[in-house]
């Protein structure tokens, strides 16, 4: 049985004070939610506040990115895995489509960052997903296969075992246009078939694949009813404590 994960991606939203205020409201609302793991990814500057606010709770904190170099060095503006681990992060999001689209992220850098995360003791959530024109051209599976082969298949089996995948169709992110549960499930099944081909049946059954793309309190139930969907990576709807809590408590 795969344990589900509800992860919130705050993107470039909230100050440290707003982070603390969020958790004051959010934690009591998810106190009884033992059915899933809960992860929140604030911007780097709010990680310390988020870790402090969630110390005596089951909520874990993720970063939204990390550099692939795991030692200190002359990399202005970058943050390393060991720094994230030291501040109290347990997770890191890698290869989000916004990073692929605006910041030159490629499958090659996704693989390098994933290896750095694993070497730093962080659990990576690696994002894949097709753009609208790729879906419309019937290339969804080809794109997912390319991203899987380039960004993940280079991991050793024991490394891949610690990876969570997030399927996030780019056309559904921040657009209010959620994939139907069936569309999402088809992509998850396809990804699982790729995992099986590369890492074997047991690993394919064990890997958690989250869905992301306009997940809201009113559509989470339908998505989670699909056996291949193991949780959500939630952007906009994770910014409000009541909204994210109702997704967690679906």
Cβ distance 243 to 19 under 8 Å? no
Candidate list 96, 98, 134, 188, residue with the active-site label: 96
- Residue closer to ligand PEP (CB basis): 70 or 191: 191
Structure tokens belonging to residue 54: 């969630």
Structure tokens belonging to residue 75: 């990399």
Residues 212 and 232: their CA atoms lie apart, in Å, by 6
Work out how close the CB of 202 gets to ligand PEP at its nearest, in angstroms, rounded to a whole number: 28
Rounded-to-5 percentages of helix, strand, coil across the chain:
45, 15, 40
In 3D, which of 154, 181, 150 has the Cα closest to residue 167?
181
Active site residue 96: yes
What is residue 35's three-state secondary structure?
coil
Which residues of the chain form contacts with ligand PEP (CB under 6 A)? 9, 11, 96, 168, 173-174, 212-215, 233-237
- Residue closer to ligand PEP (CB basis): 30 or 70: 30
Work out how close the CB of 127 gets to ligand PEP at its nearest, in angstroms, rounded to a whole number: 7
- Residue closer to ligand PEP (CB basis): 12 or 74: 12
Work out how close the CB of 226 gets to ligand PEP at its nearest, in angstroms, rounded to a whole number: 17
- Residue closer to ligand PEP (CB basis): 81 or 212: 212
What is residue 177's three-state secondary structure?
coil
Work out how close the CB of 197 gets to ligand PEP at its nearest, in angstroms, rounded to a whole number: 26
Work out how close the CB of 18 gets to ligand PEP at its nearest, in angstroms, rounded to a whole number: 17
Active site residue 119: no
CB-nearest residue to ligand PEP: 235
Residues 22 and 108: their CA atoms lie apart, in Å, by 35
Residues 147 and 164: their CA atoms lie apart, in Å, by 14
Candidate list 105, 130, 134, 168, residue with the active-site label: 168
- Residue closer to ligand PEP (CB basis): 107 or 168: 168
Cα pseudo-dihedral 81, 86, 88, 92, rounded to 10: 0
Cβ distance 120 to 85 under 8 Å? yes
Catalytic residues: 96, 168
């Amino acid at each position: 049985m795969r344990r589900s994960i509800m992860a919130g991606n705050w993107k470039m939203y909230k100050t440290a004070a707003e982070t603390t205020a969020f958790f004051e409201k959010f934690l009591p609302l998810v106190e009884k939610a033992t059915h899933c793991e809960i992860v929140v990814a604030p911007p780097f500057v709010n990680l310390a506040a988020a870790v402090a606010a969630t110390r005596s709770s089951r909520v874990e904190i993720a970063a939204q990115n990390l550099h692939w170099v795991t030692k200190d060095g002359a990399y202005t503006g970058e943050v390393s895995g060991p720094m994230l681990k030291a501040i109290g992060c347990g997770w890191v999001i890698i290869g989000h489509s916004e990073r692929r689209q605006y910041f030159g992220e490629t499958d090659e850098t996704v693989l390098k960052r994933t290896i750095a995360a694993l070497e730093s003791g962080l659990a990576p959530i690696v994002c894949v997903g097709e753009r609208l024109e790729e879906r419309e051209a019937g290339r969804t599976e080809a794109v997912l296969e390319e991203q899987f082969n380039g960004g993940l298949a280079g991991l050793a089996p024991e490394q891949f075992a610690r990876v969570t995948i997030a399927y996030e169709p780019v056309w559904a992110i921040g657009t209010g246009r959620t994939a139907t549960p069936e569309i999402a499930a088809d992509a998850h099944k396809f990804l699982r078939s790729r995992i099986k081909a590369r890492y074997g049946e047991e690993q394919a059954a064990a890997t958690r694949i989250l869905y992301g793309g306009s997940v809201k309190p009113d559509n989470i139930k339908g998505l989670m009813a699909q056996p291949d969907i193991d949780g959500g990576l939630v952007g906009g709807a994770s910014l409000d404590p009541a909204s994210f809590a109702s997704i967690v408590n679906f």
